[in-house]
Structure 1
Amino acid sequence: MDFLNNIFVFPLAKLPFFLMALIIAFTVHEFAHAYFANKFGDPTAKLLGRVTLNPTVHFDFIGMLLLLLAGFGWARPVPVNRENFSNPRLMGIIVSAAGPISNLLLGILGTLIYAALHHFGVMNSLWSGDPSKLAEAISSFFYYFNLMNFFLFLFNLIPLPPLDGYRIIEDLAPRSMLGRLQQFERWALFIFLLILFIPALKQFTITPLYNAAYSMYLGLFNLVSG
């Protein structure tokens, strides 16, 4: 058991809450991409059954495993054909931004609910109960749910392929730069592997995002619960 605790980024005892939070966050993120792409005239995701909140169609085992082991991962990307949009650039930006924004909204909603439970004394009542396992379960779930959604919001805005931030930059960039950007894409996997296996790079990139996500969560929680 200690061996497993050392492998996983998150405590093994908290793993069920982390997985529940992550499944919801990834599912809504990918659904948002598929929903807006379909709304704007691209049926690619719909034809593949991706305009759904069924988590099984968005699940990627390798991406989930890496998130547990390394601190970042992915769901199954939603295929988007921008040529089907009447305004490819503008609609492409909206479709790309829909995923991170959905995580931001989930983080805000989850934090507001958890802060309200504290503000109205619900959590205090649960903690004083015997046993207080329900309070611990609720606290663990909302901690990971809120933190991971704020983290995914920030992480996906990084301008590296295949993240949403890169797709937004790609749609904003002049046509003359598209060739250079596409050449850069071949290095994306290499860059992520460096971040994954070099602790200093991970400390420089992923850790600040976690800290920023935690600050967003804690700041909003204190503002509402106080």
Structure 2
Amino acid sequence: MDSLIPTLAIWALPVLLAITLHEAAHGYVARHFGDPTAHLAGRITLNPFKHIDPVGTILVPIAILTLSTLFGGGGILFGWAKPVPVDFGRLRNPKGDMLWVAAAGPFVNLLMALGWALVFKIASSSPENAYTLPLELMAEAGMIINAVLMFLNLLPIPPLDGGRIAVSLLPGRLAWQFSRLEPYGFPILLVLLFTGVLGSILGPLIAGFRFVLATTFGFYL
């Protein structure tokens, strides 16, 4: 229990930023392509309180971190924010622009992972003091959570971003048929999670991505 509070403190900022900026990016790009829905709802903002989902942004990540801390083991840390409202019908080119709106979230997670990698490099290269280790741990958490959200959301399962990207790229009739999977997307994701398939898919991708970050920025994890 003594280690739980420091763990939550280290992960709180990276998780909050990763989840909320992911959603804000969708709204910003949607506005750029003609849909002001998120803007009118006040969701294109860096204010995390506008994006927080009590379950997905707070309870689920805390529960996963608590179980991992108390009982050991890995497990995939993930969560979600309140989805940004996007009216794809108001986009100037709904099918084509859907790709960019959907890709915006994972792209922002990629940028944040790179940013946290730079923070880790700076902290690990600095003279040791009271802040270097906590900063390294927070930066490592930032790299992990952003990698998880990036690869998770790129899975081609509607309504995940990867599913919407697939709908945008598929030809008309096939795209329509594929989009009909959307009501079953979350149950499919839960089955993959609890059967361990999701971990088997994401684990190597995340490990490979962390290796690329470490190699690019010249540090060891």
- Please report the TM-score for the alignment, with normalisation by the length of structure 2: 0.83
Structure 2, unmatched stretches of 5+, are 65-75
Amino acid in structure 2 at the alignment position of 1:43: P
Cα distance in structure 2, aligned partners of 1:209 and 1:60? 27
Give per-residue Cα distances to partners, 1:31-80, cap 9 Å, x unaligned: 11111111221111111110101001111122233344263221111121
| 2:152 aligned with 1:152 | no
What aligned pairs does 1:35-74 form with structure 2 within 5 A after superposition?
35-64=28-57, 65-68=59-62, 69=64, 71-74=77-80
> Offset at 1:182?
3.0
Structure 1 residues 86 and 169: alpha-carbon distance in aligned structure 2, compared to 1, 3 A threshold: same
Structure 1 residues 88 and 168: alpha-carbon distance in aligned structure 2, compared to 1, 3 A threshold: same
Cα distance in structure 2, aligned partners of 1:179 and 1:163? 16
Structure 1 segments of 4 or more deviating over 6 A? none
Which has the higher mean CA deviation after the structures are superposed, 62-71 or 161-170? 62-71
Amino acid in structure 1 at the alignment position of 2:92: S
Amino acid in structure 1 at the alignment position of 2:178: L
Q: Secondary structure at the match of 2:46?
A: coil
Structure 1 residues 43 and 152: alpha-carbon distance in aligned structure 2, compared to 1, 3 A threshold: same
Structure 1 residues 212 and 74: alpha-carbon distance in aligned structure 2, compared to 1, 3 A threshold: farther
Structure 1 residues 88 and 202: alpha-carbon distance in aligned structure 2, compared to 1, 3 A threshold: closer
Give per-residue Cα distances to partners, 1:170-193, cap 9 Å, x unaligned: 111111113321332232122122
| 2:71 aligned with 1:77 | no
Q: Which structure has the larger Rg over C-alpha atoms?
A: 1
Aligned twin of 2:211: 215
> Offset at 1:169?
0.5
What aligned pairs does 1:128-139 form with structure 2 within 5 A after superposition?
129=129, 132=130, 134-139=131-136
Amino acid in structure 1 at the alignment position of 2:108: S
Q: How well do the aligned residues superpose, as a CA RMSD in angstroms? A: 2.2
What aligned pairs does 1:65-214 form with structure 2 within 5 A after superposition?
65-68=59-62, 69=64, 71-118=77-124, 121-122=125-126, 125=127, 127=128, 129=129, 132=130, 134-198=131-195, 200-214=196-210
Structure 1 residues 150 and 58: alpha-carbon distance in aligned structure 2, compared to 1, 3 A threshold: same
Amino acid in structure 1 at the alignment position of 2:102: S
> Offset at 1:117?
4.0
Give per-residue Cα distances to partners, 1:135-186, cap 9 Å, x unaligned: 2211111111122222222221111122111111111111111332133223
Contact 1:107/1:150 (8 A) holds in 2:
yes
Once the two structures are aligned, what percentage of the paired residues are identical?
33
Pick aligned residue for 1:27 from 20, 23, 48 = 20
Which has the higher mean CA deviation after the structures are superposed, 211-220 or 76-85? 211-220
Contact 2:116/2:143 (8 A) holds in 1:
yes
Structure 1, unmatched stretches of 5+, are 6-10
- Please report the TM-score for the alignment, with normalisation by the length of structure 1: 0.81
Contact 1:147/1:217 (8 A) holds in 2:
no
Cα distance in structure 1, aligned partners of 2:201 and 2:78? 11
> Offset at 1:103?
0.9
